[in-house]
Amino acid sequence: MRDERWERLTVATEAVRARLAETPVVAIMLGSGLSDAFGVPDGGMRIPCSEIPGFPTPTVPGHAGELWIGRIGRMPILLQRGRTHYYEGGSMDDVVFATRLYARLGVKTLIVTNASGAIRPDLRAGDLVLLTDHINMLGANPLRGPNLEELGPRFPDMSAAYTPRLRAIAREAAAAEKVELKEGVYVATLGPSYETPAEIRAFRAMGADLVGMSTAPEVIAAAHAGMEVLGISIATNLAAGVDPNAALTHDEVMETTRRKGAELRRLIMAVLVRLKM
């Protein structure tokens, strides 16, 4: 099948593969502000996204736009610093390009992180939250259009997209590290405006615990391509109207991310040592 999306992925896959000593087993996507908070592991290799043909360059401040590829412990890892959001104006193909590239490279497991607003009343700014599911309110699905049969089926099952086995490992890792890990359902909105209080009340009634502007497309594309997914969010702020006296700012989001980034890193490291290659 000749499909522009497939060809674009093929060119990028070949360019990255040519630079790889080994295939990463796990890809970790770092969201808003997390790229800096997480830091760059020792050793390995850095590839600016701009050096990968077809790779959309993130435009948001706080998103560095590079891949780090190397080993953490004995595990070959790919770390993505910076991601593309749908609100930036690109296509859904851009938003899920990285996820599909990793699938094509042979990555088996995707760890997605993000910053989110806390909707559920018991959640606090700074909480780490294990994603159990999502509600896609982006008004778009990355699988729209002719199905890329080489990647996956036309109608992929989403009932265990946030892989139960990986969630169990994350709980175990959190307990061992004495990191408090809450759980919740993430609703993805287009943004880039934050939500109104009425929207947040509506999302709460729908069953959402957290709100953010990313992740759902990547998880859909990963599920389509048969990858296992672990999602962890930092609730960086109370969602609009949850504290009637608070206003939302990007600075608050970045500040909480910086404050909690090291703890998220510790949790992810503890997950990685529990994964089998």
Q: Applying CB under 6 A, which residues contact ligand HPA?
A: 115-117, 194-195, 211-213, 236-237, 239, 248, 253
Ranked by CB distance to ligand HPA, the top (closest) residue is 117
Using DSSP bridges, classify how beta strands 26-30 and 75-81 pair: parallel, antiparallel or unpaired.
Answer: parallel
Enumerate residues 6+ apart whose C-beta is below 8 A from 19: 45, 47, 69
Let me know if 214 is a catalytic residue. Answer: yes
Tally of CB atoms within 10 A around 18: 7
Q: Which is nearer to ligand HPA, 82 or 212 (CB)?
A: 212
User: C-beta of 75: minimal distance to ligand HPA in Å?
Assistant: 29
103: its two tokens: 């699938």
User: C-beta of 136: minimal distance to ligand HPA in Å?
Assistant: 14
Q: Which is nearer to ligand HPA, 227 or 238 (CB)?
A: 238
Using DSSP bridges, classify how beta strands 228-238 and 128-136 pair: parallel, antiparallel or unpaired.
Answer: antiparallel
Distance CA 40, CA 69 (A): 10
Estimate the crossing angle of helix 97-105 against helix 216-224, to 10 degrees.
Answer: 30
Which member of 87, 141, 183, 246 is catalytic? 87
Q: Which is nearer to ligand HPA, 80 or 114 (CB)?
A: 114
Q: Whose CA is closest to 183, among 238, 244, 118?
A: 118
Let me know if 87 is a catalytic residue. Answer: yes
Which member of 12, 29, 63, 64 is catalytic? 63
Which amino acid is residue 151, in one-letter code?
A: L
User: C-beta of 181: minimal distance to ligand HPA in Å?
Assistant: 18
Let me know if 193 is a catalytic residue. Answer: no
Are 74 and 266 in contact by the 8 Å Cβ rule? The answer is no
Distance CA 1, CA 226 (A): 20
Which member of 35, 114, 116, 214 is catalytic? 214
Q: Which is nearer to ligand HPA, 146 or 192 (CB)?
A: 192
Let me know if 224 is a catalytic residue. Answer: no
- DSSP track, 71-95: EETTEEEEEEES---GGGS--HHHH
User: C-beta of 40: minimal distance to ligand HPA in Å?
Assistant: 23
Let me know if 159 is a catalytic residue. Answer: no
User: C-beta of 152: minimal distance to ligand HPA in Å?
Assistant: 28
Q: What is the helix (H) or strand (E) element at residue 263, kind and residue range? A: helix 250-274
Which member of 12, 35, 64, 85 is catalytic? 85
Let me know if 277 is a catalytic residue. Answer: no
Q: Which is nearer to ligand HPA, 35 or 236 (CB)?
A: 236
Catalytic residues: 32, 63, 85, 87-88, 115, 213-214, 237, 250
